[in-house]
Structure 1
Amino acid sequence: MDEMELSRKANAGDEAAFLALLQTYKEDLLRTALAFLKNDQDALEALQEVTVRAYNKIHTVKEPEYAKTWLIRIMINYCQDQLKRQKRIHHWKTVVDHQGTEDVSQLELKEALASLPEKEQQLIYLKYFQDVKIKDIAKLENIPEGTVKSRLHKTLRTLRVYFEDEGGREHV
């Protein structure tokens, strides 16, 4: 069976065709993941995640001849998300290193978060500790994405002010 036929059958819900299609493009997907993530373990994890995402959305492929492009686009998006997440984690570690010991920084962060109203704490927790996407938070809270973004912006500004005030005070 050729790739076009596999793609059509997978799009129609044939699980065996989907698996065969994925097997056909497995090397291309792994090469793409390795190019971005530069780590075999992360690339394999990316392949697993892309498999799940593609399986859930295979019915959305409009043109069967673009199945490979569609799969690689999912892989690229996933890898870019991972790189952003790693960058954020690296940034937080740098901030912690500059502030002193990690324990003190964690206590300061917990104190700052505790100063926020419960809804704002929840928003920060979902976005930055659980890495939930803004669109998913909007669905969860049943509010528009723009509202989530503006609340997040306001909350981050409040935290910035909190830390600026803390930095300005003399610690005994």
Structure 2
Amino acid sequence: MDDIEVARKAIQGDEEAFVALMQLHKEALLRTALAFLKNEHDALEALQETTYRAFKKIHALKEPAYAKTWLIRIMINYCQDQLKKDKRYARNGQAADSSVSDDLAQLELQEALNTLSPTEQQLIYMKYFQDVKIKDIAAIEKIPEGTVKSRLHKTLRTLRRHFEGKGEIDHV
């Protein structure tokens, strides 16, 4: 049985198909949660909450082919809600969570991502951390593919300027 058929059966109320659907996309959902929450415990909790929310609303999924993007959207929304609620970052800009890597490059990347708006961060996470295709991002966001491409280009240009300002890129 292929992914679309599993999703179709889950939408029709087949609980075993729903469990199979969650298993199919578990890794992508966990990667999304880790990218946002930076903590394995919080990511597992996010997966549980996403599973619960998806189970309650599976009947609302209109197109079985977009089950993965629908699940990722639920996960992203949950993670963003948690970040707002928990105020995971201290006022001085340092990560409040002690599990964040001490690796300088990781910290610099996180600092750069923190300069972006939540929408821009979400776009970067989906495209580069989750390998979500531009057409799927467009479907998730309900915007044209060209808009996704232009926003991605603008966001990458912003990140480039951030690193150039730090002296990370040396133009000889």
TM-score, normalised with respect to structure 1: 0.51
Counterpart residue type for residue 2 of structure 2: D
Please list, as runs of the form range in 1=range in 2, the aligned pairs for 1:71-150 lying within 5 A after superposition.
71-87=71-87
Counterpart residue type for residue 9 of structure 2: K
* Distance in 1 (alpha carbons) for counterparts of 2:19 and 2:65: 17
Report the alpha carbon displacement of residue 6 of structure 1 after superposing the two structures with TM. 0.3
Counterpart residue type for residue 86 of structure 1: D
* Distance in 1 (alpha carbons) for counterparts of 2:90 and 2:33: 20
Secondary structure of 1:79's match? helix
1:22 paired with 2:22, answer: yes
Counterpart residue type for residue 64 of structure 1: P
* Greater Rg by CA: 1
Gaps of 5+ in 1: 92-172
Alignment match, 2:57: 57
Gaps of 5+ in 2: 92-172
Q: Percent identity?
A: 71
* Distance in 1 (alpha carbons) for counterparts of 2:41 and 2:12: 32
Q: What root-mean-square deviation, in Å, do the aligned CA atoms of Structure 1 and Structure 2 show?
A: 1.5
* Distance in 2 (alpha carbons) for counterparts of 1:82 and 1:90: 15
> Which structure: greater helix fraction?
1
Alignment match, 1:138: none
**Structure-2 change in CA distance of 1:38 and 1:89 (3 Å):** closer
Report the alpha carbon displacement of residue 88 of structure 1 after superposing the two structures with TM. 8.3
* Distance in 2 (alpha carbons) for counterparts of 1:20 and 1:54: 13
Deviation by residue 1:13-45 (Cα, 9 ceiling, x = unmatched): 000000000000000000000000000000000
Report the alpha carbon displacement of residue 90 of structure 1 after superposing the two structures with TM. 5.8
Report the alpha carbon displacement of residue 87 of structure 1 after superposing the two structures with TM. 1.5
Deviation by residue 1:110-138 (Cα, 9 ceiling, x = unmatched): xxxxxxxxxxxxxxxxxxxxxxxxxxxxx
* Distance in 2 (alpha carbons) for counterparts of 1:38 and 1:88: 10
Counterpart residue type for residue 34 of structure 2: L
Alignment match, 1:13: 13
TM-score, normalised with respect to structure 2: 0.51
Report the alpha carbon displacement of residue 11 of structure 1 after superposing the two structures with TM. 0.2
Report the alpha carbon displacement of residue 86 of structure 1 after superposing the two structures with TM. 1.3
Report the alpha carbon displacement of residue 89 of structure 1 after superposing the two structures with TM. 9.5
* Aligned residue-pair number: 91
